Chain A
Amino acid sequence: MFKRIMVPVDLAHIDKMEHALGCAADLAGLYGAEVTYVGATAAAPSAVAHTPAEFAAKLREFAGAQAAQRGIEAHDHMVMAHDPTTDLDDTLLRAVKDIDADLVVMASHVPGVAEYVWPSNGGKIAGHAKASVLVVRD
């Protein structure tokens, strides 16, 4: 049914994404799909990483840890956003295309990051992506 599942992750709030991460891993097991964790960062330093290179390394570590913990085939994909406050959803939509995902599993209700919180974000991905989109409430 699904071959490649994309999971947008917010490395600053991983603890609040347990449901989505578990759900994506279960679906991956069920359909024998691989999971690609997509992390978006800006060029400027953030709470997660000082540089995009550091961010990429952390994302890779995260994907590796998920693969080991959940027994799935996991990849990582970093995307750069010029202005994450406003263009995160466009950036994620590009990522859906770039990695050729057929299912997107997104968390919602991560506090403090409006783009993940507002259903409009998941809604925009669902409305514009060619892939199926599953929004997992916290």
Chain B
Amino acid sequence: MTDETANQGIPEPEGTAHIIETEYEIGQDNVDGSVGPFGFDIHNPVFLISGLSIVAFVFYTLALPEQSGAVFSWLFSAVTKGFDWFFLGAANIFVLFCLFLIVTPYGSVRLGGADATADYTYVGWFAMLFAAGMGIGLMFYGVSEPMSHFSSSMGGVAMEEGARTDWAPLGAAAGDTDAAIRLGMAATIFHWGLHPWAIYAVVALALALFSYNKGLPLTIRSAFYPIFGDRVWGWTGHVIDTLAVFATLFGLATSLGFGATQASAGLNELFGIPLGSTTEVVLITAITAIALISVLRGLDGGVKVLSEINMGLAFLLLMFVLLVGPTMVILTGFADYLAAYVQYLPALSNPVGRTDTNFMQGWTSFYWAWWISWSPFVGMFIARVSRGRTVREFVVCVLLIPSLVCVLWMSVFGGVAIQQVVMDGYTAAQDAPLELKLFKMLDALPLAGITSLIGIILVVVFFVTSSDSGSLVIDTITAGGKIDAPVPQRVFWCIFEGAVAIVLLLSVGGLSSLQSMVISTGLPFTVVLLVMCWAIFRGLQSERAQLR
């Protein structure tokens, strides 16, 4: 230890923790000072490199839209098609690894040391897990994805020159309504169940373990300490952290752009507010402004409060749809879809020798890359709020329970929409564009005006929490793992994110080409996650050894 207090003759405590001994002191590479009244405390060079390269990339997509669009879409299809087996195989490993942690004695290791107590109650913790992890996705795909898989499964297999041209999962279920519903729901749950949450759990666990138990800074590079040793404090680590900032900021900015599209579609449907870039820019500005207030209020007063409000609202909406929809059909469906998920899981997660290439590459591989590119952000946020839990409790709560909630959500929203088609012949949701499917489904239920409004509020607030927690995470990474950096830095990232989203939204094809690029970052991060599994295993081994 070479920090200031140690220099003043305060000795190291004895036997308080099994920390990793390293010469690195948190904040040693930081530059602090102030610009006018605004203080800053930033990591040199991660802050500058990530900031400048983000600006450079935005300029590139704006200055050469066609060229950049072509480059990114080539990259995207090369990654999701060429490495589909790799994504599927790796995601299976993450799930098995997490399940392994639950059943082995490693599960009893407590994050933060044997005496640590949990910082948050279960309700607050769950609310934040969902708000950061996939709240917005559930709003987007809750109706549309089950519907897509159901429709394509009904359509059956189509072959052309020996290759399948249909998008149905596995062997489809041509004309068989019940089988198509089961297959469609199983495929949807597969994309929102164990696998994505295992991806988040691995990253979160690695960061929590190496920060709370091993005393390394709360930043992505720390999980690589077992592999690179002290080199993680140099350029190796700078590159890892910069990549994480990059994926987080662009991931958030593109989602913010697409979210504005859905919210404005909803507002148009509900109040006739004109569609177009003006409405979307106003929406992004408003979301960023609310996020700023939340940022200034901090973790407990901002993100946590908003997450809890949103979880309450989402629960009410879920209950409403369940009760006014065909309740018994959905409830028996829930059990049936869960069984279908278990039944089809081996086939759906099989990485090689598949014939349903469109589904496997266009859906599964895309999703896995997308979850993985989000994992530095979500994982780090989950780590931030999970101190004091045991590894077993952590994995059960981050993997199993959210998966079950997703099954319930998809069963209700997707189930109702499919039943509307099957039982009532109401096809408005089936025929609507992606961003409108949710509202069209609600339209056929009572009190559609109110529930649609709640839907829009949910979309907006989920974006606020994402934007806010994203700023928190980026700020921590670019401050070298310091979580007490001055508040203007978070404000900066929050505004920067909104600005990037607006610029990309106004450019032609800017959003979608950058989304392709973000998803492409999933490939290197998959390698990163595999390495993390090994690092977690080693870290837990040493914790167990010291407990004996």
> Which A residues are within 8 Å of any B CB, using their own CB?
11-15, 42-48, 50-54, 57-58, 61-62, 65, 80, 82-88, 111-115, 117
Bound complex: CA A52 to CA B215 (Å): 10
CB pair A65–B9 under 8 Å, yes or no, is yes
Bound complex: CA A84 to CA B19 (Å): 22
Tell which of A58, A86, A112 touches B39, judged by Cβ atoms closer than 8 Å: A112
Bound complex: CA A129 to CA B301 (Å): 20
> Which B residues are within 8 Å of any A CB, using their own CB?
3-5, 8-13, 16-17, 19, 25-28, 32-34, 39, 41, 112-113, 115-116, 119, 211-212, 215-218, 296-302, 384, 387-388, 472, 481-488, 490
Bound complex: CA A14 to CA B10 (Å): 12
Please give me the residue from chain B that is nearest to A81 by CB atom: B484
CB pair B490–A54 under 8 Å, yes or no, is no
Tell which of B9, B39, B301, B472 touches A87, judged by Cβ atoms closer than 8 Å: B301
User: Given contacts A48-B3, A86-B487, A87-B301, could you give 10 more A-B pairs where the C-beta distance is less than 8 Å?
Assistant: A12-B3, A14-B4, A42-B484, A43-B387, A44-B384, A45-B218, A51-B19, A86-B296, A86-B302, A112-B486
A58-B484 contact, Cβ under 8 Å, with A13-B4, A85-B490, A117-B39: no
When distances are taken between beta carbons in the complex, the residues of chain B under 8 Å from A12 are 3-5
A51-B298 contact, Cβ under 8 Å, with A14-B5, A44-B384, A84-B484: no
Tell which of B116, B211, B487 touches A45, judged by Cβ atoms closer than 8 Å: B211
CB pair B13–A58 under 8 Å, yes or no, is yes
CB pair B4–A46 under 8 Å, yes or no, is no
CB pair B19–A47 under 8 Å, yes or no, is no
When distances are taken between beta carbons in the complex, the residues of chain B under 8 Å from A86 are 296-299, 301-302, 487
A45-B486 contact, Cβ under 8 Å, with A53-B113, A85-B298, A86-B298: no
Tell which of B5, B119, B302 touches A62, judged by Cβ atoms closer than 8 Å: B5
- Please report whether the interface of chain A is mostly helix, strand, loop or mixed according to DSSP: helix
Bound complex: CA A46 to CA B388 (Å): 17
When distances are taken between beta carbons in the complex, the residues of chain A under 8 Å from B19 are 50-51, 54
A53-B17 contact, Cβ under 8 Å, with A46-B484, A85-B483, A87-B300: yes
When distances are taken between beta carbons in the complex, the residues of chain B under 8 Å from A15 are 4, 8
CB pair B3–A47 under 8 Å, yes or no, is yes
Chain A to chain B contacts (Cβ below 8 Å), 22 pairs: A11-B5, A14-B5, A14-B8, A43-B212, A44-B218, A44-B387, A45-B212, A45-B215, A46-B26, A46-B483, A47-B28, A50-B215, A54-B17, A61-B10, A62-B10, A82-B119, A84-B484, A85-B490, A86-B487, A87-B299, A114-B488, A117-B39
Bound complex: CA A86 to CA B491 (Å): 12
When distances are taken between beta carbons in the complex, the residues of chain B under 8 Å from A53 are 13, 16-17, 113, 115
Bound complex: CA A114 to CA B475 (Å): 15
When distances are taken between beta carbons in the complex, the residues of chain A under 8 Å from B8 are 14-15
CB pair A46–B482 under 8 Å, yes or no, is yes
Bound complex: CA A74 to CA B89 (Å): 59
When distances are taken between beta carbons in the complex, the residues of chain A under 8 Å from B296 are 86
Tell which of B9, B26, B387 touches A47, judged by Cβ atoms closer than 8 Å: B26
Bound complex: CA A52 to CA B4 (Å): 17
Please give me the residue from chain A that is nearest to B484 by CB atom: A84
Bound complex: CA A48 to CA B4 (Å): 8
Bound complex: CA A11 to CA B212 (Å): 20
CB pair A83–B26 under 8 Å, yes or no, is no
Please give me the residue from chain A that is nearest to B299 by CB atom: A83
A47-B25 contact, Cβ under 8 Å, with A14-B4, A53-B16, A54-B13: yes
Bound complex: CA A20 to CA B11 (Å): 23
Shortest Cβ distance from B283 into chain A, in angstroms?
26
A-B contact count (CB 8 A): 130
Shortest Cβ distance from A113 into chain B, in angstroms?
7
Please give me the residue from chain A that is nearest to B21 by CB atom: A50
When distances are taken between beta carbons in the complex, the residues of chain B under 8 Å from A58 are 5, 10, 13
Bound complex: CA A12 to CA B1 (Å): 13
Shortest Cβ distance from A122 into chain B, in angstroms?
16
CB pair B5–A51 under 8 Å, yes or no, is no
When distances are taken between beta carbons in the complex, the residues of chain B under 8 Å from A54 are 12-13, 16-17, 19, 215
Tell which of B25, B28, B483 touches A84, judged by Cβ atoms closer than 8 Å: B483
Shortest Cβ distance from A107 into chain B, in angstroms?
15
Tell which of A45, A62, A88 touches B26, judged by Cβ atoms closer than 8 Å: A45
Tell which of B32, B300, B490 touches A112, judged by Cβ atoms closer than 8 Å: B32
When distances are taken between beta carbons in the complex, the residues of chain B under 8 Å from A47 are 3-4, 25-28, 482
When distances are taken between beta carbons in the complex, the residues of chain B under 8 Å from A44 are 211-212, 217-218, 384, 387, 481, 483
CB pair A113–B484 under 8 Å, yes or no, is yes
When distances are taken between beta carbons in the complex, the residues of chain A under 8 Å from B384 are 44
Bound complex: CA A1 to CA B228 (Å): 58
Bound complex: CA A46 to CA B483 (Å): 8
A51-B17 contact, Cβ under 8 Å, with A44-B384, A85-B487, A114-B39: yes
CB pair B486–A114 under 8 Å, yes or no, is yes
CB pair B39–A51 under 8 Å, yes or no, is no
Bound complex: CA A128 to CA B55 (Å): 43
When distances are taken between beta carbons in the complex, the residues of chain B under 8 Å from A85 are 298, 483-487, 490
When distances are taken between beta carbons in the complex, the residues of chain A under 8 Å from B481 are 44-45
Q: Please indicate which of the listed interface residues B10, B212, B485 has the most CB atoms of chain A within 10 Å of its own CB.
A: B10
Shortest Cβ distance from B478 into chain A, in angstroms?
14
CB pair B16–A51 under 8 Å, yes or no, is yes
Bound complex: CA A13 to CA B32 (Å): 13
Please give me the residue from chain A that is nearest to B27 by CB atom: A47
CB pair B301–A114 under 8 Å, yes or no, is no
CB pair B483–A111 under 8 Å, yes or no, is no
When distances are taken between beta carbons in the complex, the residues of chain A under 8 Å from B487 are 85-86, 114
* Leading 10 A-B pairs by shortest Cβ distance: A86-B298, A50-B215, A57-B13, A83-B299, A53-B16, A114-B486, A84-B484, A112-B32, A44-B218, A83-B298
Shortest Cβ distance from B39 into chain A, in angstroms?
4
Please give me the residue from chain B that is nearest to A57 by CB atom: B13
When distances are taken between beta carbons in the complex, the residues of chain B under 8 Å from A57 are 13, 16
CB pair A50–B298 under 8 Å, yes or no, is no
